[in-house]
Structure 1
Amino acid sequence: MTFKRPSQTAPRAMWQIILSEDDTRLCQDIPDADCQVVKGNRSKLILAQVASALSELMTNAKTVLPWLFQALGAPVWLIGWLVPIRESGSMLPQIMLGAYVRRMPYRKSAWLWGAGLQALCLVLMAVVAMLSSGWVAGCLLLGLLTVMSVSRGLCSIAAKDVLGKTVPKRERGKVTGLGASWAGGIGLVFGLVLSRLNDIPVWGYATILLLAAGVWGLGMLCYWAIVEEPGATSGGVNGWRQAWSSLKLVQEDANFARFLVVRTLLLSTALVTPYYVLLAQAEDSRMQVLGGLVIAQGLAQFVSSWVWGRLADYSSKRVMQWAATLASILGLVVWLHLSLWSGSTFSGYFAIVVFILSVAHAGVRVGRKTYLVDLAGGNRRTDYVAVSNTLMGILLLLVGALSMLLALFSNFVVILVFSLLGLVGVWLAQRLPDVQNL
């Protein structure tokens, strides 16, 4: 498969993609009545995604929140639940939420509710950080994080459906990738500020949480301005009945079932990140290290997500494979260097590792999101997204429990096993069809 080389500079090309709203695009997979309102929606979608991705970067459960928990004196075992709750909490309820979202002719309202709840939770987190400490603060923050995760799931269902309704095939990857890229670029400023500090007082963490809530508010304004045609509301009856009915999609669609297996194996690119962060923290726990990791994440998003997005519009399956291969090779190299050969690190070693891993994870995310939206054409898109994310939430808890058991041996064992699981996912993905060509 060949890809055309862009003839413009990257920043100029990115802005033209955001601002270009010509009517020469193919309206594949979008009813004629919807095509008339595609114009103007793309820039609003991208700006809303920039806001949501930036807010998530500022309150990252893999980097920023662990430092906050330590500052509040929360027990280590509570810190270990941050990532599982953050990820699975947004997926588990989606099979139920999807049935209710289907009853909404305008799906963007579901996204606005989810975004508003996340902003409110961040404000309450700031209050908790200022007024409590220890295990009480840790439990309250985990509770609010759970609500945030469920709200994030609501946004996830609605966002994919709105994207599929308002933006045609071969354009959706650009929207998803550019939003993440610009958020990563802005996040660099946040990381640079952290890297200049020796330490942050509790009120500093509270300020970060409040700023992130404000960013969500800006995203809500952009999303509210999106012009959306009313969608189908069939199936929006009993939530549990619709949930069990939706599960039949796994049996009815063989390609969807294969995609779920591949996505399960590629969860390793997300779950392995905290173990690299733990290794970095064991080496040096100063705030400069956290700043370096945040910069690495932001820079990786900025330089890679928009590229992954453009490639995903040609073959999202290949993007998943290439990105997962990169993450797996990285894990094997780190395991060989630091564990098997007992090598030594240098200043910025783990920032480089997190940068490469974040590039790979961005590719996996953009690839799987684009693949699922294009695979689930028409009015069944909401069901596909809900079933996929709910099953992934269950499997995420199981894989997370596995990682905790492996971590009893060492962090390097987790990295090794997850790298091998990623390679298995790459191999199985070869049997998936290229949905962009269907």
Structure 2
Amino acid sequence: MFESKSESERGWLARLTDNDEDARICKDIPDDQCHQAVGNRRRLILAQLATALAELMMNAKTVLPWLFQAVGAPLWLIGWLVPIRESGSMLPQLLLGARVRLMPLRKRAWLWGAGLQAGCLVLMAMTAWLWSGWLAGVLLLLLLALMSLARGLCSIASKDVLGKTIPKQERGKVTGAGASLAGGAGLIFGLLLTIPDSLPLWGYVLILLTAAAIWGLGIWCYSGIQELPGATEGGVNGWQYALASLKLVKQDPAFGRFLLVRTLLMSTALVAPYYVLVAQDYNGGIQVLGGMVIAQGLAQFISSWLWGKLADVSSLRVLQLAGLIAAVLGLVVCFHLALEDRVPAGYFALVIFILSVAHAGVRVGRKTFLVDLAGGDKRTDYVAVSNTLMGVLLLLAGALSMLLGLLSALAVILVFSLLTLLGVWLAQGLPNVQDDS
């Protein structure tokens, strides 16, 4: 069926994505879809590359806090960046899942979500150029909220499209290849940021417009995916399903304590923008942002596999160790900066690297712990409840960030570090779910 080519004749993407043997053994997808698998694989990888790179270029933990400072947005608004980004993409997955299920071709939902995100980036660029102060900050936050809703829509559809178009034993390769390529492109973006001494406002506008254009390339790739119509029955309202399952919090004390610990350890994500703001106060050069973007990418690349191996031994200890690292980091930074007016070059890149390593551990630990805590059929219920509550609590955390932001960025770092430390201590009461005895 397929004409073989020598290795030298095949492009780099083909060598990365093609598997001549598995391409003819399509498992878990319709036979009619089998001959499209190789082309779909390439398009999915390129679309994931575009998605990840565009999201990195407007990261809520690093790039957007810098943009907010550039437009003169008040500090209390910056505290809403991560909560809106995360909760906005989490809650709609519960609300819109049944709607997407009614669509025979799920890629259309992804295309709508991607197009909406690209449009929001263009509007964000216009906002940053035309307005400043609190007005620019509020408008940027509203656009970020809309982007997060669209991100949730893409997340729902992408998993279904991947399952419908790629054989079972090939899906991990597609996801991994897209993430690896995006990581390399992200490092290039970070290196480019280290070149200029400063970045004028039009530079941020250019970054946003470039991210929108990259989304456009992703849309072009994704639109070429050959997807057969799928089943449209069996959808449930995830929001109602999660609310009906809230009784699990009372029925399972370990699950209730886990939710409390997870809430406190959210601080490892919420605190990141404030490190960026402190870095800007101590050294406002754009090279600092570039160094932090590089450090964040390296930390995610290096630490995730290590935390994963440790989590298989004890996800509880991973949660505690990662949380302890983040808490101690915050306390040390606050103590050090209270005594010193100057910091060495690369100081904040190292801080972001350590924080990103710790946050990766928290993510891996909590996911592994929840899956192993819930047995069999209960996993869906536990995940639904956990995501619903976390989406709501993230918004409450944003309100806390807003109040603390009226003081100083260092005050926020201190409080979130203490909350993380409390979470580590409370985790002592959780069972070791990897223990079979």
TM-score, normalising length: structure 1 = 0.76
**Residues 230, 321 of structure 1: CA spacing in aligned structure 2 closer, same or farther, 3 A cutoff?**
farther
What residue in structure 2 maps to residue 6 of structure 1? none
Unaligned 5+ runs, structure 2:
1-11
Aligned partners of 1:373 and 1:381 also within 8 Å: yes
C-alpha contact 1:195 1:292 (8 A) present in aligned 2? yes
Counterpart of 1:395 in structure 2 is 393
Q: Does 1:330 align with 2:329?
A: no
> Partners in 2 of 1:367 and 1:15 — Cα distance?
35
How much does 1:183 deviate? 1.5
In 1, the alpha carbon distance for the partners of 2:303 and 2:76 equals 34
Structure 1 residues 360-375: aligned runs within 5 Å: 360-362=358-360
Q: Which residue of 340, 347, 350 corresponds with 2:345? A: 347
Aligned to 2:103: 104
**Which sits farther off after the overlay, 263-272 or 188-197?**
263-272
The C-alpha deviation readout for 1:24-67, integer Å capped at 9, x for no partner, is: 99988x46669847833444333222211111111112221222
- For the 8 Å contact 1:84–1:397, the answer to whether it is kept is yes
Q: Secondary structure at the match of 2:135?
A: helix
Does the aligned pair in 1 maintain the 2:324–2:424 contact within 8 Å? no
Question: Equivalents in 2 of 1:212, 1:37: separation in Å?
Answer: 33
Q: Which residue of 2 aligns with 1:53?
A: 52
Q: Kindly provide the amino acid, as one letter, of the partner of residue 55 in structure 1.
A: A
For residues 122 and 366 of structure 2, the distance between their equivalents in structure 1, rounded to whole angstroms, comes to 32
Q: What does residue range 98-177 of structure 1 map to in structure 2 within 5 Å?
A: 98-166=97-165, 172-177=171-176
Structure 1 residues 410 and 91: alpha-carbon distance in aligned structure 2, compared to 1, 3 A threshold: closer
Superposition deviation, residue 201 in structure 1: 1.6
The 8 Å contact of residues 94 and 390 in structure 1, kept in 2 or not, is answered as: no
Alignment-derived partner of residue 213 in structure 1: 212
Whether 1:414 and 2:395 are equivalent positions in the alignment is no
Q: Secondary structure at the residue paired with 2:90?
A: coil
1:186 to partner: Cα distance: 0.7
In the other structure, the counterpart of 1:4 is: none
Match of 2:240 among 239, 244, 258: 244
Which residue identity does 1:244 align to in structure 2?
A: Q
Matched-pair contact (CA < 8 Å) for 2:44–2:221: yes
Deviations 1:197-242 (A, max 9, x none): 22212211111111000111122223223343433322458x6xx6
Compared CA separation, residues 315 and 296, structure 1 to 2 (3 A) = closer
Query: Which deviates further from its counterpart, 207-216 or 354-363?
Result: 354-363
Quote the Cα distance in structure 2 between the aligned partners of 1:157 and 1:411. 33
Structure 1 equivalent of residue 6 of structure 2: none
2:354 is matched with 356
Provide the residue aligned with 1:195 in structure 2: 194
Change beyond 3 A, Cα 1:304–1:47: farther
Is the CA contact 1:331–1:415 (under 8 Å) kept in the aligned structure 2? yes
* Conserved 8 A contact 1:319-1:363: no
How many Å separate the matches in 1 of 2:136 and 2:350? 33
Shifted more, 77-86 versus 145-154: the winner is: 77-86
Shift of the 222–300 alpha-carbon distance from structure 1 to 2, 3 Å rule, reads farther
Residues 48-98 of structure 1, C-alpha deviation per residue, up to 9 Å, x if partnerless? 222111111111122212222222222222222222222222222332211
CA change 1:326–1:406 in 2 (3 A) is farther
Q: 2:262, 2:423 within 8 Å by CA — same for their partners in 1? A: no
Larger displacement relative to structure 2 (36-45 or 58-67): 36-45
Comparing 226-235 with 178-187, which one deviates more in the overlay?
226-235
- Structure 1 gap ranges (5+): 1-12
1:140–1:270 CA distance, 2 compared to 1 (3 A): same
Residue in structure 1 matched with residue 9 of structure 2 by the alignment:
none
Q: Aligned AA for 2:395? A: L
Hey, what's the Cα distance between the residues in 1 that align with 2:361 and 2:44?
19
Alignment of 1:73-92 (within 5 A): 73-92=72-91
Offset, 1:351: 0.6
**Structure 2: distance between partners of 1:433 and 1:34:** 45
Letter in 2 for 1:391: L
1:307-322 equivalence runs, <5 A: 307=305
* 8 Å CA contact 1:268, 1:422 repeated in 2: no
Deviations 1:345-402 (A, max 9, x none): 53212212212332444465578789999999xxx99999876544321121223344
- SS state at 1:231 partner: coil
C-alpha displacement at 1:196, in angstroms? Answer: 1.7
Is the Cα–Cα contact under 8 Å of residues 49 and 182 in structure 2 kept in the other structure? yes
- Give the Cα separation in 2 of the matches to 1:101 and 1:375: 29
In the alignment, is the contact (CA less than 8 A) between 1:63 and 1:293 conserved in 2?
Answer: yes
**Structure 2: which amino acid aligns with 1:334?**
L
Provide closer, same or farther for how the CA distance between residues 356 and 387 of structure 1 changes in structure 2, counting only shifts above 3 A: same
**Contact 2:66 2:276 (C-alpha < 8 Å) held by counterparts:** no
Matching residue's letter, 1:129 = A
CA contact (8 A) 2:183 2:301 kept: yes
Report deviation, 1:114.
Answer: 0.6
1:259-338 matched pairs, under 5 angstroms: 264=263, 266-303=265-302, 307=305, 324-325=319-320, 327-338=322-333
- Indicate the percent of aligned positions where both proteins have the same amino acid: 59
1:261-285 CA distance string (max 9 Å, x none)? 7765553332232233233233322
| 3-state SS in 1 of match to 2:22 | coil
Counterpart of 2:90, as a letter, is: M
AA of the residue aligned to 1:337: V
1:406: Cα distance to partner?
6.2
1:47/1:219 contact within 8 Å kept: yes
- Tell me the secondary structure at the aligned position of residue 345 of structure 2: coil
SS for the counterpart of 2:91 is coil
Q: Distance in 1 between matches of 2:26 and 2:432?
A: 28
Shift of 1:428: 4.3
Aligned-residue RMSD, C-alpha = 4.5
Measured in 2, the distance between the counterparts of 1:114 and 1:194 equals 28
Given residue 331 of structure 1, which amino acid in structure 2 is its aligned partner? Answer: A
Q: Which amino acid aligns with 2:205?
A: A
Is the Cα contact below 8 Å between 1:117 and 1:148 reproduced in 2? Answer: yes
